[in-house]
Amino acid sequence: MGILEGKVIIVTGSARGMGSAEALDAAENGAEVIVTDILDERGNETAVEIGATYRSLDVTSKENWSEVVSSVLDEHGRIDGLVNNAGIYTSQDIFSGSTDTFQKIIEVNQFGTYLGMAAVTPIMSRQGSGSIVNISSVAGMRAQANIAYMASKWAVRGMTKGVAKTLASSGVRCNSVHPGAVETDILFSLEEEAVTDLISTIPMGRSGEPAEVAEVVTFLLSDSASYITGAEIVVDGGMII
């Protein structure tokens, strides 16, 4: 029996990459997983592969969130966990990018996370239990030149603490996870020299695997983390020590 046995977990942006690893680990630990994404074909494939359910979800749409949450409640009667994993990335330097790009990053990474929490917390509060895991980044822990992405991830960190403090007495926990150089599309999109330079700054001397982040997420979703809320868990091989 896995540590998420019987729990109903929604994972956003889980058609591929780190999100799919998080969905897989939750399913392998006994959860009923709802894979959500805007990549419908890939998302359906991922759901079939891990024995989960797929729902199309644009995290920036309040109406879409309501539809997905309602469908999950109709099918399962409860929501025990939410992983706000969906996000987009830009490497634009401070003031060098377009305002449209900045706004889009904030819309998906920050506002999308907010909408997800707003959609599930009333349900979790009524249940008297629930765990939200927000995927931030090491960019939410220190200053970086990619200002839009950094700002969105600092915002996720701050919102996490606010929700954790506000809802702690309701039995709802909220924590943030801050991955470093993990082997996802974001890392693979960088030039080889840039990746080499980045890894050279990591004390462990290597990049991380999505499964290593997923295991942390599963722990925070589980009752094993019952006294942990408002925490910032950094998964970066020592990058920001």
CATH code of the domain covering residue 131: 3.40.50.720
Residue 175 placed within a domain = yes
161 domain-assigned: yes
> Is residue 120 in some structural domain?
yes
Structural domain harbouring 176: 8-184+210-234
- CA 232 from chain centre, in angstroms, equals 13
> What is the predicted pLDDT for the residue at 97?
76
Residue 189: band (very low, low, confident or very high) from pLDDT cuts 50, 70, 90: confident
Q: Is residue 202 part of a domain?
A: no
- Out of 48-62, 93-107, 219-233, pick the least confident: 93-107
User: CA nearest 69: which of 79, 60, 59?
Assistant: 79
Average pLDDT over every residue of 190-215: 91
- pLDDT per residue as tens digits for the range 73-128: 999 999 999 999 999 998 777 787 789 999 999 999 999 999 999 999 999 999 99
Mean pLDDT for 214-220 is: 98
In this predicted structure, the answer to whether residue 191 has a pLDDT above a threshold of 80 is: no
Q: Distances in Å between the alpha carbon of 110 and those of 34, 70, 209?
A: 21, 22, 24
The number of distinct structural domains making up the chain is 1
Identify the helix (H) or strand (E) that includes residue 132: strand 130-135
Query: Is the pLDDT assigned to residue 221 strictly greater than 90?
Result: yes
Which residues are annotated as catalytic?
149
The closest of 186, 202, 121, 188 to 149, measured between CA atoms, is 186
Distance of CA 148 to CAs 48, 128, 199, 203, 215, Å?
A: 35, 36, 23, 27, 28
Mean pLDDT of the chain: 95
pLDDT band at 199 (very low <50, low <70, confident <90, very high): confident
Q: The whole model's pTM is what?
A: 0.96
Q: What is the average pLDDT across 39-54?
A: 98
Report yes or no on 192 lying in a domain: no
Name beta bridge partners: 55: 36
Is the residue at 162 inside a domain? yes
Query: Has residue 1 been placed in a domain?
Result: no
For range 44-62, the mean pLDDT: 98
2 inside domain: no
226 pLDDT band, cuts 50/70/90, is very high
